[in-house]
A and B are shown apart, each in its own frame.
Chain A
């Protein structure tokens, strides 16, 4: 756990006068799972979006494998090929079948052959138990199934790390479990992940590091035990009491 995959240095992000991130620094190592916790609007999603360049940072630097992404010669698309992202609202492509959703990235972004992409996509769908629904369209699936397909869609790119933006927040409580099970499975397999979440028990269980954000400020980070049993900051304590 020494090689840094993603390094965020003193990143700020402003939308007009509103400062959403105020000098956040954070390292993500290979095979490490980091959980971002904090109130809604604390800047968790914005940080994730900045990390794969869906939002430009206002100041500071983000580097992937030591290469600074704010360098104008960086190919944003190449960066995103190495960083998978899963969204709160799934964002599956409704006009494509489940299989085509998973194949789209490998075929049109990695320029992989259709046959090999299909084979890998089917293997991934097999893994989440949805191979028999491959030909169906996303509208037919439950929320939990859709989110698992979305996770597998980003895995099909064989990314170096996964960004997960409150991926269970839009789900029925009864469907949260299946998605968390898959993430647990990935964590066990050594997938590097940065997870924004409100599922505290889950964060405590799978994360190596917990990061608490409050109003754009990184208030505290530490091991799950430190943060959950012995937070040093007043704001962290208050947040954990409230939930």
Chain B
């Protein structure tokens, strides 16, 4: 029998799933997914309970009493609170993120400008991104955190380690974010630029009113990626002596010989990044709906 679309073709095609795939279809898919989740979780728990060193690992990493103690801290024993430490991380990354947004955009803007006056700055901003994306952030933290105080420049050299941490994070992440912005600006179709310029809009107005609003929408997911990475890198500022969550957890671990404090610190970092991710997802969805919905 021919397989063509002849009107006279009388063979009825078989549209059913092969038998071995049927057990995953329809409602059974939900059962299958729950089952596999339970198996995976159960597997991990089973390993923690059945492995020869299981009890030790549970006690060292997941001891509820130690976790609570690490979270609240204990001044009498000289234990810093991991929860309080996290506040230091939080203000460091909030400050750094605001600064990074500003400087990253500034660097991208300068790099894409056409003004002859800005020529030396164009070269500098290119060099800047090349250098600071290439240098490990830990080294930047050391250079800023130990170098600037050594300069003995009055107030500038008398800041807390966290402030130098923010400065170092801003220096490095601005270079990354500048490239993200640049890519976003390039992703806006050329026709948008032509249309805006043909309305007599100046280059800067075109950027502000037409190109950037569109670029920022495309740039939000990669930007978020860099911000999550920045949030975690605030932990590196502990090397300057700032008592943030990781450092507090470390102090706890080395004093009490229990690593549950690290688990607490991990959970706290997660508690910060996951809501941020969900929030951004919702922001993107809302913007998309607005543009596609009828008024």
Residues of A within 8 A of B (CB): 49, 52, 54, 77-81, 83-85, 87, 89, 91-95, 97, 104-105, 108-110, 133, 135-137, 139-140, 150, 153-154, 157
Q: Which of B194, B195, B201, B295 contacts A109 (CB 8 A)?
A: B201
B207 CB to nearest chain A CB (Å): 12
Give the residue name and chain of the A residue nearest to B293 (CB): A140
Q: Which of B200, B210, B214, B293 contacts A78 (CB 8 A)?
A: B200
Tell me if B217 counts as interface (CB < 8 A to partner A): yes
B208 CB to nearest chain A CB (Å): 9
Q: Which of B189, B192, B217, B291 contacts A139 (CB 8 A)?
A: B291
CB atoms of A87 and B201 under 8 A apart = no
Q: Which of B192, B291, B293 contacts A91 (CB 8 A)?
A: B192
Contacts A77-B201, A108-B205 given: A136-B294 contact, CB under 8 Å? yes
CB atoms of B291 and A89 under 8 A apart = no
Q: Which of A52, A104, A137 contacts B201 (CB 8 A)?
A: A104
In the bound complex, residues from chain A placing their C-beta under 8 Å from that of B278 are: none
Contacts A94-B214, A95-B291 given: A89-B191 contact, CB under 8 Å? yes
In the bound complex, residues from chain A placing their C-beta under 8 Å from that of B290 are: 137
CB atoms of A154 and B201 under 8 A apart = no
Cβ-closest 7 pairs across A and B: A81-B200, A91-B195, A105-B199, A135-B295, A85-B198, A109-B200, A91-B191
Tell me if B282 counts as interface (CB < 8 A to partner A): no
Contacts A89-B191, A104-B209, A109-B205 given: A154-B198 contact, CB under 8 Å? yes
Tell me if B22 counts as interface (CB < 8 A to partner A): no
CA distance A66 to B137 in the complex (A): 59
Given contacts A104-B196, A139-B292, 4 further A-B contacts (CB under 8 A): A80-B197, A108-B209, A140-B292, A140-B293
- For chain B, the count of residues having a C-beta within 8 Å of the partner chain is 24
CB atoms of A54 and B199 under 8 A apart = no
In the bound complex, residues from chain A placing their C-beta under 8 Å from that of B200 are: 77-81, 105, 109-110, 157
CB atoms of B198 and A80 under 8 A apart = yes
A147 CB to nearest chain B CB (Å): 12
Tell me if B147 counts as interface (CB < 8 A to partner A): no
CB atoms of B198 and A95 under 8 A apart = no
Tell me if B202 counts as interface (CB < 8 A to partner A): yes
In the bound complex, residues from chain A placing their C-beta under 8 Å from that of B197 are: 54, 77, 80
CB atoms of A95 and B191 under 8 A apart = no
In the bound complex, residues from chain B placing their C-beta under 8 Å from that of A83 are: 198
Identify 6 residue pairs between A and B in the complex whose beta-carbon atoms are under 8 Å apart, listed by A's number: A87-B191, A97-B295, A104-B209, A109-B205, A140-B294, A153-B199
B199 CB to nearest chain A CB (Å): 4
Give the residue name and chain of the A residue nearest to B203 (CB): A77
CA distance A33 to B2 in the complex (A): 59
CB atoms of A94 and B291 under 8 A apart = yes
Give the residue name and chain of the A residue nearest to B190 (CB): A91
In the bound complex, residues from chain A placing their C-beta under 8 Å from that of B59 are: none
Give the residue name and chain of the B residue nearest to A163 (CB): B198
Q: Which of A89, A95, A136, A157 contacts B214 (CB 8 A)?
A: A95
In the bound complex, residues from chain B placing their C-beta under 8 Å from that of A94 are: 214, 291
For window 77-110 of B, CB contacts with A under 8 Å fall at none
For window 256-295 of B, CB contacts with A under 8 Å fall at 290-295
CA distance A81 to B196 in the complex (A): 11
Give the residue name and chain of the B residue nearest to A52 (CB): B198
In the bound complex, residues from chain A placing their C-beta under 8 Å from that of B199 are: 80-81, 104-105, 109, 153-154, 157
B60 CB to nearest chain A CB (Å): 53
CB atoms of A137 and B198 under 8 A apart = no
Give the residue name and chain of the A residue nearest to B290 (CB): A137
Interface centre among A85, A109, A135 (most CB of B within 10 A): A109
Tell me if B213 counts as interface (CB < 8 A to partner A): yes
Give the residue name and chain of the A residue nearest to B292 (CB): A139
Contact with A along B162-196 (1 / 0, CB 8 A): 00000000000000000000000000010110111
Give the residue name and chain of the A residue nearest to B216 (CB): A95
